[in-house]
Amino acid sequence: MPTLTERVAAGDRRALAQLISRIEREDPETQEILASLHALTGRALVVGITGAPGTGKSTLVNALAKVFRTGGPGERARTVGILAIDPSSPFSGGAILGDRIRMRDLAGDDGVFIRSMASRGCLGGLSRATGSAVRALDAAGFEIILIETVGVGQDEVDVARQAHTVVVVETPGLGDDIQALKAGVLEIADVLAVNKADLPGADSVAGSLRMMLDRNEKSGGGWQPPIVQTVAPTGKGVQELAAAIRNHRDHLLKSGEAERRERERVERDLDARLRERLFARWQSVRGNRLAEAAKKVVAREFSPEEAVRELLNDDPIAGKTG
């Protein structure tokens, strides 16, 4: 009987679904499973799709997945993993149900894996779970991973940081001055999609975006974020959007930016893990023995510094000689 790790590595969909459920539950065993899958990761192209609710992200992700599945001139068909991240909804939330229905036409395709994930309410928990789910999909052999995330707050920025390429989705009809566009969002955009280009005002939104982009050029080794107009339900412009994503991937690889981003991502991840482990150690040390150590300090048996050393299992006498 193969282990869950072996089954995920072999691309078994049910095993993958089980693993992601465990990740969501924060099952402690997942860390070990992900550790043994680590060598298989780092192969996928991870694309974040973000923007305000209702801009058409889910529809666009669906359309993009179809394009990547089909391939195109000079591009072979790719397998696609989709993570729909909703920081606000509980697991059975309406939005997620809607996404499932919308993505129904991709169901039955073994080269597509769709999964919704929601926040557990813990700070940074969603981006951590998303990162783990991305690793699981990557290890299972999905070549392109699309992460749909609602453009609200820090969660979105954290989730976007898991991606190689970030697509920010805008639409016409949100006011001429693009009120919906928060300052930070343009900074994380590698590619801009002006979706709902069938509605009036798409050209003007694209023009305003161009002006804003020209003003604050992103530090990314000379990459100019392209602006692509799309009509997600009909697929208009989606080939072009897929091409823009591929161009950005090529740019990342050629410029060395891919490696730099990956190192940055790993550094942030290690830093968060380290902080978590040290925090847990602090809690356990103080929880068990703080009162006792305080008694010794009050009785002048130990200085506070010596007491701390002892709590950390250092020799309380060491360093006293100086």
Ligand X SMILES: Nc1nc2c(ncn2[C@@H]2O[C@H](COP(=O)(O)OP(=O)(O)O)[C@@H](O)[C@H]2O)c(=O)[nH]1
In the complex, the residues that contact Mg ion under the rule CB under 5 A are 57-58
89 binds ligand X (CB under 6 A): no
59 interface partner picked from Mg ion, ligand X, none, CB below 5 to 8 A per type: ligand X
Smallest distance from the beta carbon of 248 to Mg ion, in angstroms?
22
97 binds ligand X (CB under 6 A): no
Reference 293, options 277, 313, 279; nearest CA is 313
Strand partners, 227: 192
From 75, 198, 240, 269, residue interacting with ligand X (rule: CB under 6 A): 198
Strand order in the sheet with 191-194: 112-118, 80-86, 144-150, 45-51, 165-170, 191-194, 227-229
Q: How far apart are CA 87 and CA 82, in angstroms?
A: 16
Q: Closer to ligand X at the Cβ: 59 or 132?
A: 59
- Note the Cα 192 to chain centre separation in Å: 18
Residue 85 DSSP SS3: strand
Q: Closer to ligand X at the Cβ: 45 or 238?
A: 238
- Note the Cα 127 to chain centre separation in Å: 6
238 interface partner picked from Mg ion, ligand X, none, CB below 5 to 8 A per type: none
Smallest distance from the beta carbon of 248 to ligand X, in angstroms?
21
Task: State the DSSP string of 4-28.
Answer: HHHHHHTT-HHHHHHHHHHHHHT-T
Smallest distance from the beta carbon of 148 to Mg ion, in angstroms?
6
195 binds ligand X (CB under 6 A): yes
Query: How many Cβ atoms sit within 10 Å of the Cβ of residue 22?
Result: 18
5 interface partner picked from Mg ion, ligand X, none, CB below 5 to 8 A per type: none
Q: Closer to ligand X at the Cβ: 168 or 232?
A: 232
Smallest distance from the beta carbon of 238 to Mg ion, in angstroms?
16
Strand partners, 113: 81
Nearest residue to ligand X by CB is 56
Q: Closer to ligand X at the Cβ: 197 or 252?
A: 197
Within 8 A by CB and 6+ apart from 255, the residues are 221, 222, 223
From 199, 266, 278, 294, residue interacting with ligand X (rule: CB under 6 A): 199
Return the residues of window 46-75 that contact ligand X according to CB under 6 A: 53-59
Q: How far apart are CA 76 and CA 2, in angstroms?
A: 31
Q: Closer to ligand X at the Cβ: 196 or 248?
A: 196
232 interface partner picked from ligand X, Mg ion, none, CB below 5 to 8 A per type: ligand X
235 interface partner picked from ligand X, Mg ion, none, CB below 5 to 8 A per type: none
SS (H, E, C) 232-298: CCCCECHHHHHHHHHHHHHHHHHHCHHHHHHHHHHHHHHHHHHHHHHHHHHHHHHHHHHHHHHHHHH
Per-residue string for binding with ligand X, 225-254, x by CB under 6 A?
A: ------xxx---------------------
Residues in the chain, overall count: 322
Structure tokens at 12: 């078994």
Torsions phi, psi of 170, nearest 5?
Answer: -120, 165
Q: Closer to ligand X at the Cβ: 30 or 149?
A: 149
Q: Closer to Mg ion at the Cβ: 57 or 128?
A: 57
Interface with ligand X (CB under 6 A): 53-59, 195-196, 198-199, 231-233
